[in-house]
Amino acid sequence: MRITIPHPGQHKGQRTARHGGRRFGKSAGTALLAALLLSGAMAVPGHAQSRNDQASAREEMRAGRTLSIREIERRIMPRMQGNEYLGFEYDGAASAYRLKFIRDGQVIWVDVDARTAGILRVSR
């Protein structure tokens, strides 16, 4: 037999879900699950999506449809002097690279067209 002692603020008979050592009411757990599903966070694991994007980038580059990340970096880095380069992501659907920089604690994202190396957008 299992005895559950209610936490302060928990009504008698209310179910709880255990997560990371904390207890959440049933409605909080349901809301969290719904938020994850709606955000797409559970749709594709990050490492799987990353592999797909890498494969897509290689395939596009080999076919001559996009520039390599090294070529993109060679063209963009001189424009971003004074910023520390942190890395990149590739979006196969948009045929664009997103380069990440930091300066004075502020992150700067530079979206670059993978076909032309033209800067599409800079966001801070």
Neighbours of 47 (CB within 10 A): 8
Number of domains the chain contains: 1
pLDDT tens digits, one per residue of 56-102 = 778 887 888 899 999 999 999 999 999 999 999 999 889 999 999 99
pLDDT for 39: 44
pLDDT for 31: 52
Whether 34 maps to a domain, the answer reads: no
Whether 2 maps to a domain, the answer reads: no
pLDDT for 9: 52
Selected residue with higher pLDDT from 28 and 82 = 82
Whether 33 maps to a domain, the answer reads: no
Helices of type H across 1-124:
26-39, 46-62, 69-76
Whether 20 maps to a domain, the answer reads: no
Distance between CA atoms of residues 43 and 64, nearest Å:
31
pTM above 0.75, yes or no: no
41 is written with which tokens?
Answer: 């966070």
Whether 25 maps to a domain, the answer reads: no
pLDDT tens digits, one per residue of 34-59 = 554 444 443 444 444 567 777 877 88
Whether 3 maps to a domain, the answer reads: no
Whether 73 maps to a domain, the answer reads: yes
Question: For 61, how many CA atoms within 13 A lie in the half-sphere containing its CB?
Answer: 17
Distance between CA atoms of residues 34 and 29, nearest Å:
9
CATH code of 98's domain: 3.10.450
* pLDDT of 122 over the 70 cut: yes
